[in-house]
């Protein structure tokens, strides 16, 4: 971690600071006043949930994975949806958000990282929004500035945010609950409470996901994987994976990883609203995971043993890369053959299918052997490390 020095004097950004500190207070007062006077029903909770999902997903699937990282492409109605409901999250325009975020990835943990965890948890969480240091820098976002939807959003960000984040939930309240009471119900639950929840969900990625959790894919920066944070942030908690493979549309790459954002993007791909979903090859992911597990264990080893272990690691990563590539190739071959099976007589297809399935099985068992080999290596390293400590 680099030492932070020579930072210019900062000035409190009164508007941002009072907004960030004022909204939670207003939300608490609002909830108390509303509940005492009108009670709470399924509708208030429903509006809160609906607004939380539409504005939260606009940040994670829109601002983050689409606009910042271009990990997939989306047709204009979805981009417009993200621009409108992302504004409702009051985290600035796409252009400004992505400028900061791209700098965060380019300069992670350095002085130029706008929300560097090196400057402390509070700074990374919300401190950086509450002060102004240098001139506001908008850079690395030329591609976004050329998108008319995003240029429009940038120009009218407060009006769009005010409408989508405050008036709109109020109107839903009027519709569902009725009258002025309904407007206040929608405004308090779908506007204020939801806004505070989305704010701190996003902030936790900049703070907590650089502070708690495991470094599964890289130790080059402070990013960490935290499945618990993923529960609160539509799947953004797998942050070490994300920093290592930032062009992947998934943050939780396994099917069972809680990542609603990747499911959202995938569902829209079935109706062609999202396209070109970028996935990092499985062998790159497994190689990174093996190398990182190895790095966690190698510190206390003597040079001679290290050389031997290093060689074994290299063998494992090379073999797993080749085998996973082979598995992918064989699966594609099988899929193609299955598609064209009508051109073959039944018996020939039956034979072909058995042979192909057997080959796939063989590759899979070879993969299992290499994984076991790697587990053995890590186990031996653990024993060596414990012996060194004794």
Q: How far is the CB of 211 from Zn ion (least distance, A)?
A: 11
Nearer to Zn ion, 223 or 287 (CB): 223
Cα separations (Å) of 384 from 55, 126, 301?
A: 50, 43, 7
Restricting to residues 214-233, name those near Zn ion by CB under 5 A.
223
Closest CA to 360 of 389, 322, 323, 390: 323
Residue 318 φ/ψ, nearest 5 degrees: -65, -45
Restricting to residues 165-224, name those near Zn ion by CB under 5 A.
223
Q: How far is the CB of 215 from Zn ion (least distance, A)?
A: 12
Cα separations (Å) of 217 from 116, 240, 323, 340, 372?
A: 20, 6, 20, 39, 19
Q: x/- contact string, 283-312, with Zn ion (CB under 5 A)?
A: ------------------------------
**What single DSSP character describes residue 274?**
E
Q: How far is the CB of 199 from Zn ion (least distance, A)?
A: 17
Nearer to Zn ion, 71 or 384 (CB): 71
User: Left if phi > 0, otherwise alpha if psi is -120 to 50, otherwise beta: which for 70?
Assistant: left
Nearer to Zn ion, 23 or 244 (CB): 244
Closest-by-Cβ residue to Zn ion is: 223
The residues with which 36 forms a beta bridge, in sequence order, are: none
Q: How many residues bind Zn ion (CB under 5 A)?
A: 1
Nearer to Zn ion, 55 or 223 (CB): 223
Q: How far is the CB of 71 from Zn ion (least distance, A)?
A: 9
CA 338 distance to own-chain centroid: 36
Nearer to Zn ion, 206 or 293 (CB): 206
Q: How far is the CB of 227 from Zn ion (least distance, A)?
A: 16
Nearer to Zn ion, 74 or 160 (CB): 74
Q: How far is the CB of 335 from Zn ion (least distance, A)?
A: 32
User: Rounded to whole angstroms, how far apart are CA atoms 379 and 373?
Assistant: 10
The residues with which 274 forms a beta bridge, in sequence order, are: 74
- Where along the sequence are the contacts to Zn ion (CB under 5 A)? 223
């Amino acid at each position: 971690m680099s030492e932070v020095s020579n930072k210019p004097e900062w000035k409190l950004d009164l508007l941002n600071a009072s907004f960030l500190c004022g909204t939670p207070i207003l939300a608490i007062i609002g909830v108390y006043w509303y509940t005492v006077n009108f009670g709470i029903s399924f509708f208030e909770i429903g509006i809160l949930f609906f607004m939380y999902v539409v504005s939260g997903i606009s940040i994670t699937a829109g601002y983050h994975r689409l606009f910042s990282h271009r990990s997939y492409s989306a047709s204009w109605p979805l981009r417009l949806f993200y621009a409108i409901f992302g504004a409702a999250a009051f985290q600035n325009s796409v252009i400004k958000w992505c400028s900061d975020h791209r700098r965060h990835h380019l300069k992670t943990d350095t002085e130029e990282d706008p929300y560097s965890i090196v400057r402390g948890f509070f700074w990374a969480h919300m401190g950086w929004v509450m002060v102004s240091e240098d001139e506001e820098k908008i850079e690395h976002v030329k591609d976004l500035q050329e998108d008319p939807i995003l240029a429009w959003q940038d120009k009218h960000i407060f009006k769009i945010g005010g409408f989508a984040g405050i008036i709109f939930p109020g109107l839903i309240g009027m519709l569902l609950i009725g009258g002025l009471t309904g407007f206040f119900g929608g405004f308090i639950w779908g506007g204020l409470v939801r806004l505070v929840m989305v704010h701190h969900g996003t902030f936790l990625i900049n703070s907590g996901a650089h502070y708690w959790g495991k470094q599964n894919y890289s130790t080059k920066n402070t990013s960490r994987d935290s499945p618990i944070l993923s529960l609160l942030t539509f799947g953004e908690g797998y942050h070490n994976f994300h920093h290592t493979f930032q062009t992947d549309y998934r943050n939780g790459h396994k099917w069972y990883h809680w990542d609603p954002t990747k499911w959202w993007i995938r569902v829209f791909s079935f109706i062609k609203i999202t396209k070109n979903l970028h996935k990092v090859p499985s062998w790159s992911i497994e190689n990174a995971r093996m190398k990182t597990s190895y790095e966690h264990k190698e510190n206390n080893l003597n040079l001679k043993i290290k050389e031997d272990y290093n060689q074994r690691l290299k063998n494992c990563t090379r073999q797993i890369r080749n085998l996973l590539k082979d598995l992918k190739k064989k699966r594609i071959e099988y899929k193609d053959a299955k598609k064209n099976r009508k051109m073959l007589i039944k018996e020939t297809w039956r034979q072909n299918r058995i042979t192909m399935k057997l080959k796939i099985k063989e590759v899979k068992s070879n993969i299992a052997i290499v994984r076991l080999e790697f587990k053995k290596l890590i186990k031996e390293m653990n024993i060596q490390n414990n012996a060194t400590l004794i």
